[in-house]
Structure 1
Amino acid sequence: MARRRYGCRVTAGTAARRGRIDKRAAILEAALRTFIRDGYGLARVEAIAELAGVAKPTVYNHFGDKETLFRVVILDGASRTSDHMIDALDALDTLADDGDGDDLAGDLSRVAREVIDCQLTEEGWALQRLMYAEAARFPDLFDEALARGGARLHNALAGRLARLAHRGRLELADPDTAAAHFLALISGDLPALSALGTRKVSDAELRTAIAAGVDTFLLAFAPGRRPAGRDTRRGRRAAAMDSGNRT
């Protein structure tokens, strides 16, 4: 399967570029950069307006106040990042339609790399750090951003894995559980490896993490690797009860 690229890199604004976009987009871009740099508490609307090349009243005319502007920035960022990640899942549709590929591990690894490349952008990590830093101040915003971001990706992946199972490429009883496992296995090490996006992760480290994650995923969900229709939740409960009986 040929590798596709989905344009996950953040694009920094310039004065020339702002001349070609509307004022609202310029304000949002300036606000994103200012909130990332200063945090919500220290960010000033005056600084955002200056960076956007607009008058301070123009910011208020478009967004009302700083809190509303912050909410729009976070939610737009979450939606934009998840859009790129969901686009990266399109290759799984080809796998489900073809149904005759003999390198499922390689195919899943390439899709995983596309998803992770989107997650590793400077903007994506900066938004995550900002969102976590302000979670106590805006708990409802935190929940909504997760719904627009990770939850959308999870649901999209579950649907595509279900199609692969229907074609006999995977064997799984619960696509939602399989999607959660896949995302955790391929990207669970990224926060520690990258120190929440503040440290560069080498290509070799990414390849190793993805390969290990995909291999573990296929041990659980490749055809013939486990009894069809096995209830993994019941298995976990039984294991916990058995462990309790031994103590």
Structure 2
Amino acid sequence: MTEPGEPGRVRTRKGYPAKRRAILRASRKVFGQAGYGGASIDEIAEEAGVSTRTIYNHFVSKEELFATVVTESTEQVADSHEAMTLRHLGGVAAGDDLEADLIRLARDWVRPRPEFTDHFAIVGRISTAGDDFPAHLRETWQKAGPLRVQRTLASCMSRLAERGLLRVPDVDFAAQHFVVLVTNTWGRGPAGADAMCEDELNAMATAGVRAFLYGYLPRG
């Protein structure tokens, strides 16, 4: 077996799937708490209940581990957001009551999902790290999640615009604008939407949608 961190190390070993899942689960938690720079392989190994050698049997480096964690968890979140977008805006009846459709989408979008808590903790770390965060890892995250979901939302808005239900000169910008408006938790403390009750989440989603429609409903 090759030494930890060496290219060409052996990854296939008995118990690989279970150990890999434990490592990724622990990594999401530790990276979410400490950030990429602050997390150590030793901490992740302790959280996962494995040795550091076991981690290096599966991943070349902390960077590869982080990229895998971010990509896999981001794809899970993107799958969820794409599904909810298509559920509310992708059907043949979508837009018959546009405000109601958008509010239902916004409510689903902002409602906290416990299974994604560690993922969004990591995203928060990425967002606040600025230039200190490796650019290629930030790009990995954006391509796996935000940009993919934005394309789906933009496509739905394009179809609504073709039907004359929205006035959207730039569908990509409109998709970004929608997400910013419905997820705005400014002034609500570090817990953000996680600390809000259902009525508050509904009010935030509704206010965001109405602000969006004010700018994007056809004039005339």
Cα RMSD (Å) of the superposition? 2.8
Q: List aligned pairs for 1:150-189, cutoff 5 A.
A: 150-187=146-183, 189=184
Q: What are the ranges of 5 or more consecutive residues in structure 2 without an aligned counterpart?
A: 1-14
State the secondary structure of the residue aligned to 1:180. Answer: helix
Match of 2:80 in 1: 84
Q: List aligned pairs for 1:26-105, cutoff 5 A.
A: 26-91=22-87, 92-94=89-91, 97-98=92-93, 101=96, 103-105=97-99
**Once the 2 structures are TM-superposed, how far is the Cα of residue 34 of structure 1 from its aligned partner?**
2.0
In structure 2, give the amino acid aligned to 1:214.
Answer: V
Match of 2:216 in 1: 221
In structure 2, give the amino acid aligned to 1:184.
Answer: V
State the secondary structure of the residue aligned to 1:219. Answer: helix
The 2-side partners of 1:175 and 1:66 are apart by 37
Structure 1 residues 209-241: Cα deviation after superposition (integer angstroms, max 9, x where no partner): 21122112222323xx426xxxxxxxxxxxxxx
In structure 2, give the amino acid aligned to 1:178.
Answer: A
Q: Which structure has the greater CA radius of gyration?
A: 1
Q: List aligned pairs for 1:198-213, cutoff 5 A.
A: 200-213=195-208
The 1-side partners of 2:175 and 2:191 are apart by 22
The 2-side partners of 1:131 and 1:177 are apart by 22
Structure 1 residues 114-159: Cα deviation after superposition (integer angstroms, max 9, x where no partner): 1222678522431122223544042321233123222222111000
The 1-side partners of 2:165 and 2:29 are apart by 43
State the secondary structure of the residue aligned to 2:111. Answer: helix
**Once the 2 structures are TM-superposed, how far is the Cα of residue 178 of structure 1 from its aligned partner?**
2.0
In structure 1, give the amino acid aligned to 2:206.
Answer: A
The 2-side partners of 1:57 and 1:25 are apart by 16
* TM-score, reference length from structure 1: 0.70
Match of 1:244 in 2: none
Q: What are the ranges of 5 or more consecutive residues in structure 1 without an aligned counterpart?
A: 1-18, 228-247
Q: How many residues align?
A: 203
Share of identical aligned residues, percent? 32
In structure 2, give the amino acid aligned to 1:160.
Answer: C
The answer to whether the 8 Å contact 1:99/1:167 transfers is: no
* TM-score, reference length from structure 2: 0.78
